[in-house]
Structure 1
């Protein structure tokens, strides 16, 4: 778990109460070019303390936190909310089991940017990490279906969006980053970012992943898109 602050390296923290899970994720992640594991924690409270220590010492901070949901002392939902509040630049990717849709929904509401199943192939975990850093949406179709059914309707619906905002919502839900959206619509990346922010505000959502799930629920795209 050596530190690497060179340009382009994605720094990762792994939070899970099972040591064997952490060992496996660390062993694989450290073999992937461009990824480096900074550290690990056995629960949310320990994760927050480690982040506090790194920040106090002026050490590099993780770009992405892989966060288990069900842990002793402090679970993933509460830890996600606290980390997002204290370290808003860190992206939280939830590690989840198929039956944890309710907790995943709560974690997304708390500020998590994505999720990946614990039984996913290692390559998919890496893809979810990269997507989070790139501002893209990484959805597992099976979990997305469950999450969609649990979503409460926003107070202001799709009718509040302009035609361009609906178009951008679809591209976002298909996994497009701000740069991808800008390229497809021939607008600046800054304009794309502003549109995405306006969409989230109008729909009263807190993340791109929630917006993607809403697009699925409203039939704008399918979970397999």
Structure 2
């Protein structure tokens, strides 16, 4: 069962998403909040009571009181096991890219098909990221305007196969796409990426892409 928190200032959006997820046995909406501040308050209460935290927070970016960027930054810092999936109206939304830069695991358009939203929630809960190659490139360009190779390239600790996987992650490929490219099982890719994150001291695939760019390896 994937526990989901919905954060959106529009009640009709929260209601619609709740209804949609009720049709899938593996998804359960555990909390609904009208803004980032309410989400933080709810998470603190759950944490203090020892209750299970949500696996995925479906987060709007443009909200009053506390927007999705600030909320995402605080959530990933305080509860690293909670993954944030950002909802936005436009695929060029600066707010969405800002949320990715502070730790969101991906973003979706609000008018995405049901299957796309459900698939994204499942992917993020499994530790994957929801980033297309275009989004990855634009994120990198926005987060790091000046490419300067690092004197200490952290990727030098990786063996050749893991180095190639890090490169493909940085290009925005999913586990399945990496597996196809390298002619191996997707489960093997997932294990390897977990090792890469551990070796590099990184939280998720977005951070791999940013670190790859900082190291001057992005083509």
Provide TM-score, normalisation by structure 1: 0.75
Measured after TM superposition, the shift of residue 32 of structure 1 is: 1.0
1:196 aligns with 2:202: no
**How large is the Cα RMSD of the aligned pairs?**
3.3
Partner of 2:175: 176
2:139 paired with 1:138: no
Q: 1:126-169: per-residue Cα shift (whole Å, max 9, x none)?
A: 11111111111222455445434424136539976343343111
Q: Which residue of 2 aligns with 1:208?
A: 205
Pairwise mapping of residues 1-225 of structure 1 onto structure 2 (< 5 A)?
9-140=1-132, 143-144=135-136, 146-152=138-144, 153=147, 156=150, 161-162=155-156, 163-172=160-169, 173-176=172-175, 184=185, 192-199=193-200, 207-212=204-209, 218-219=218-219
Cα offset for 1:188? 9.6
Q: Is the 8 A contact 1:168 1:196 kept in 2?
A: no
Q: CA contact under 8 A between 1:16 and 1:43: conserved in structure 2?
A: yes
Closer, same or farther in 2 for the Cα pair 1:161/1:141, shift >3 Å? closer
Distance 1:188 1:167, change over 3 A: closer
How far did residue 56 of structure 1 move? 2.2
Could you say if the C-alpha distance between residues 156 and 97 of structure 1 is closer, same or farther in structure 2, counting changes exceeding 3 Å?
farther
Paired residues of 1:144 and 1:213 also in contact (CA < 8 A): no
| Structure 1 alignment gaps of length 5 or more | 1-8, 220-225
Kept in 2, the 8 Å contact 1:64–1:132? The answer is yes
Worse overlay, 88-97 or 99-108: 99-108
TM normalised by structure 2 equals: 0.77
Question: What's the counterpart of residue 3 of structure 1?
Answer: none
Q: Alpha-carbon deviations, 1:171-204, whole Å to 9, x = none?
A: 4342128xx79x64997976642323445x5xxx
Are 2:129 and 2:204, in contact at CA under 8 Å, matched by a contact in 1? Answer: no
Structure 1 contact 169–196 (Cα < 8 Å) conserved: no
Distance 1:113 1:188, change over 3 A: closer
Deviations 1:21-54 (A, max 9, x none): 1111110011112010001000000111111122
